[in-house]
Amino acid sequence: MFNFKHEWIETNIGLLLVLTMLAISVGGMVEIAPLFFIKGTIEKVDGVRPYTPLELRGRDIYQREGCYLCHSQMIRPFRDEALRYGHYSLAAESQYDHPFQWGSKRTGPDLARVGKKYSNEWHVEHLVSPRSVVPQSVMPNFPWLLTTPLNISDITERMMALRKVGVPYSLNKQEYDANVKKFGAKTAEMLNIADARKNLIKQAQEENYDGDRSNISEMDALVAYLQVLGTMVDFRKYDDDAFVKYR
């Protein structure tokens, strides 16, 4: 009869390596891989679009400063979370996020729907000195965002990289036309890689997120990003159980 001996594995480094890799990939294979094949993982919903160049740079700064270490962007379908943050997050809402900002470890509040909740002025004041507006806050100060000019020299390269992993930033007429059809002409314009720098400057100047029109600071980009979070889907258009069928 077949007599298994532990020693075989322990004395054969190649076999140990292969079996270890098999064992640790089981979780991913049964829990993650099927999601790529299950229809309805990403809900069909209107309004979700890739970030504009300015929002994209804001997202980079969000990641650079480690905001995600304390703030998740995933409202779970629990009553307490919905009461505080709004509608639970849809997978569709982070379909253009690479990487996504989900999580359940929160030192600060969830930010999935912080967009348009507070004014730009509040965000600027809060980022420079959180305790000036929220006395009990433990968030660090980020005063340099207001004084550091935004580096936009590599914005096209950043969009090209995201395009490679499937974000529909357009490089040619055909892709642009597809975006017009999918997102509308105004949004398609913002997703055009060739006009990235021009669009970024235009949005920063028009919206004046940091309250200072004389330059484009990192604050402009970060506030632009924060103000769009969770605002793309208009949930009033849907019944409250419209997204139950996807689960």
Partner 1 sequence: MSQDKKTRQAPQTTGHVWDGDLQEYNNPVPDWWLIAFYISIAAAVGYWLVFPAWPIGGTYTKGFDTITYVNDKGVTKTTHWNTRALFLKKTNEAVAAQKPYYTKIANTPFEQIAKDPDLNSFVISAGKALFSDNCAPCHQQGGGGKMGLAPNLTDDDWLYGGHFTQIQQTITNGRHGYMPPFKTVLNDTQMTELADYVLSFSKVPVNPASAQAGNALFHSETAACYYCHGADAKGRTVIGSKNLTDNIWLWANVPAAQTVADKENVIKNVIYHGLDKGVMPAWKDRLSADQIKLLTVYEHDLGGGQ
Shortest gap between Cβ of 123 and partner 1 (angstroms)?
10
Judged by CB under 8 A, does residue 8 bind partner 1?
no
Nearer to partner 1, 169 or 225 (CB): 225
Q: How many positions of this chain bind partner 1 (CB under 8 A)?
A: 40
Q: What are phi and psi of 235, to 5 degrees?
A: -70, -15
Nearer to partner 1, 127 or 196 (CB): 127
- Spatial contact of 99 and 60, defined as CB atoms under 8 Å apart: no
**Among 3, 4, 6, 21, contact with partner 1 (rule: CB under 8 A):** 6
DSSP letter at 75 equals: -
Judged by CB under 8 A, does residue 236 bind partner 1?
yes
β-sheet bridge partners, residue 149: 217
**Among 78, 98, 177, 205, contact with partner 1 (rule: CB under 8 A):** 78
Judged by CB under 8 A, does residue 105 bind partner 1?
no
**Among 7, 24, 104, 214, contact with partner 1 (rule: CB under 8 A):** 7
**Among 25, 46, 63, 84, contact with partner 1 (rule: CB under 8 A):** 84
Chain centroid offset of residue 233 CA: 14
Shortest gap between Cβ of 198 and partner 1 (angstroms)?
24
> Rounded CA gap, 37 and 60, in Å?
30
Nearer to partner 1, 122 or 144 (CB): 122
Q: What are phi and psi of 192, to 5 degrees?
A: -80, 120
> Rounded CA gap, 229 and 208, in Å?
18
> 142-170 burial, b if ≥16 CB within 10 A, otherwise e?
beebbeeebebeebbebbeebbeeebbbb
Q: What are phi and psi of 149, to 5 degrees?
A: -65, 145
Shortest gap between Cβ of 203 and partner 1 (angstroms)?
17
Q: Which of residues 135-164 bind partner 1 (CB under 8 A)?
A: 135
Q: Cα angle at 130 between 124 and 134, to 5 degrees?
A: 115
- Spatial contact of 74 and 110, defined as CB atoms under 8 Å apart: yes
Judged by CB under 8 A, does residue 181 bind partner 1?
no
**Among 48, 65, 102, 117, contact with partner 1 (rule: CB under 8 A):** 117
Residues found near partner 1 in the complex (CB under 8 A): 6-7, 10, 30, 34, 37-39, 76-79, 82-84, 86, 88, 116-122, 125-126, 132-135, 211, 236, 239-241, 243-247
